[in-house]
């Protein structure tokens, strides 16, 4: 299993969610976050306006997937989230050892 953490522009959330549903992603967690990339302290566009700030609002999506689904999900996110401007965000992948569905104790892929 792999955990995908994707930080995206807030304006791309609906499109990214739809693209992920289309490739079969079921469970996910969406978090409102603030962050900066390598342009810290420089101007960046947010909702069509230019700002000079340290931390901009972003959306972080977290999902744990069976490995077979990971590349499809990464492609769905990049295609739906890309505007081509700085600040489009980033995707981080990490290994997950196990998962447990609390309702019935299912483990591993079956718990996703």
Ligand X SMILES: Nc1ncnc2c1ncn2[C@@H]1O[C@H](COP(=O)(O)OP(=O)(O)OP(=O)(O)O)[C@@H](O)[C@H]1O
At closest approach, how far in Å is the CB of 37 from Mg ion?
A: 3
Which of these ranges, 7-15, 19-27, 39-47, 97-105, lies near Mg ion under the rule CB under 5 A?
Answer: 39-47
Cα(111)–Cα(104) distance, rounded to whole angstroms? 9
CB-CB contact of 6 with 93 (8 Å)? no
Residue 14 corresponds to which tokens in the numbers above? Answer: 């609906």
Which residue do the tokens 């499809």 mark? Answer: 72
Cα(44)–Cα(49) distance, rounded to whole angstroms? 8
At closest approach, how far in Å is the CB of 64 from ligand X?
A: 18
At closest approach, how far in Å is the CB of 56 from Mg ion?
A: 9
Q: Which of 5, 13, 28, 37 binds Mg ion (CB under 5 A)?
A: 37
Residue 43, interface with Mg ion (CB under 5 A)?
no
CA-based radius of gyration for the chain: 15
Binding residues (CB under 6 A) for ligand X: these are 7, 35-39, 56, 58, 86-90
């Amino acid at each position: 299993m792999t955990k995908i953490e994707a930080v995206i522009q807030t304006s791309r959330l609906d499109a990214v969610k739809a693209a992920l549903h289309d490739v079969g992603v079921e469970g996910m967690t969406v978090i409102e976050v603030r962050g900066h990339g390598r342009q810290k302290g420089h101007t960046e566009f947010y909702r069509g306006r230019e700002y000079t700030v340290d931390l901009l609002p972003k959306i972080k999506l977290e999902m744990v997937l069976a490995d077979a689904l990971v590349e499809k999900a990464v492609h769905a996110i990049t295609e739906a989230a890309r505007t081509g401007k700085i600040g489009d965000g980033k995707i981080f992948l990490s290994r997950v050892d196990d998962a447990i569905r609390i309702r019935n104790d299912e483990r591993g892929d079956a718990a996703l």
